[in-house]
Amino acid sequence: MTDHSPNHKAEFSAPFTEVNIGARLNSMLNLRTMLSKDLGFAQYLTETVGWNNSISDFERLLYYEPEGCFVAEQNGEPVGTVTTTTYGKLAWVGCLIVLEHYRRQGIGLELMNHAMNYLKARGVETIRLDAVPEVIPLYQRLGFNAEYDSLRLIGTGRTMMCQKVSKMKDEDLDNVVHLDTRFFGANRGRALRRTHKDFQDWCFVSVIDEKLVGYIMAKRGLGQINIGPWICDPKHTEIAEELLRAILNNAKGARIWVGVPGGNKRSVNLLREYAFVDHPKSVRMYHGKRDYRGLINGVFGIGAPEKG
Ligand X SMILES: CC(C)(COP(=O)(O)OP(=O)(O)OC[C@H]1O[C@@H](n2cnc3c(N)ncnc32)[C@H](O)[C@@H]1OP(=O)(O)O)[C@@H](O)C(=O)NCCC(=O)NCCS
Q: From residue 238, how far is each of 235, 259, 270 by CA, in Å?
A: 9, 19, 10
Show the 3-state SS of 203-243.
EEEEEECCEEEEEEEEEECCCCEEEEEEEECHHHHHHHHHH
Task: Considering the complex, state which of residue 94 and residue 298 has its C-beta at the smaller distance from ligand X.
Answer: 94
Q: Smallest gap, in angstroms, from Cβ of residue 108 to ligand X?
A: 2
What distance lies between CA 200 and its chain's CA centroid?
20
Task: Considering the complex, state which of residue 105 and residue 250 has its C-beta at the smaller distance from ligand X.
Answer: 105
Q: Smallest gap, in angstroms, from Cβ of residue 72 to ligand X?
A: 8
Q: Smallest gap, in angstroms, from Cβ of residue 28 to ligand X?
A: 15
Main-chain phi, psi angles of 290, to 5 degrees: -85, 75
Task: Considering the complex, state which of residue 76 and residue 280 has its C-beta at the smaller distance from ligand X.
Answer: 280
Whose CA is closest to 267, among 305, 292, 302, 294?
A: 302
What distance lies between CA 232 and its chain's CA centroid?
19
Report the half-sphere exposure of 303 (CA within 13 A, side-chain side): 27
Q: Smallest gap, in angstroms, from Cβ of residue 94 to ligand X?
A: 8
SS3 259: strand
Q: Smallest gap, in angstroms, from Cβ of residue 77 to ligand X?
A: 15
Whether a cis peptide bond, with omega within 30° of 0, leads into 229 is yes
Radius of gyration of the chain (CA): 19
Task: Considering the complex, state which of residue 111 and residue 192 has its C-beta at the smaller distance from ligand X.
Answer: 111
Task: Considering the complex, state which of residue 107 and residue 216 has its C-beta at the smaller distance from ligand X.
Answer: 107
Q: Smallest gap, in angstroms, from Cβ of residue 130 to ligand X?
A: 6
Strand partners, 126: 90, 288
Q: Smallest gap, in angstroms, from Cβ of residue 302 to ligand X?
A: 14
Binding site for ligand X (CB under 6 A): 49, 96-98, 103-109, 131-132, 134-135, 137-138, 141
Task: Considering the complex, state which of residue 68 and residue 108 has its C-beta at the smaller distance from ligand X.
Answer: 108
Indicate the residue whose CB is closest to ligand X: 108
Q: From residue 161, how far is each of 23, 31, 181, 237 by CA, in Å?
A: 61, 50, 29, 17
Task: Considering the complex, state which of residue 94 and residue 294 has its C-beta at the smaller distance from ligand X.
Answer: 94
Can you tell me the distance from the alpha carbon of 294 to that of 296, in angstroms, rounded to the nearest whole number? Answer: 6
End-to-end CA distance of the chain: 30
Can you tell me the distance from the alpha carbon of 125 to that of 53, in angstroms, rounded to the nearest whole number? Answer: 28
Task: Considering the complex, state which of residue 42 and residue 107 has its C-beta at the smaller distance from ligand X.
Answer: 107
Q: Smallest gap, in angstroms, from Cβ of residue 220 to ligand X?
A: 23
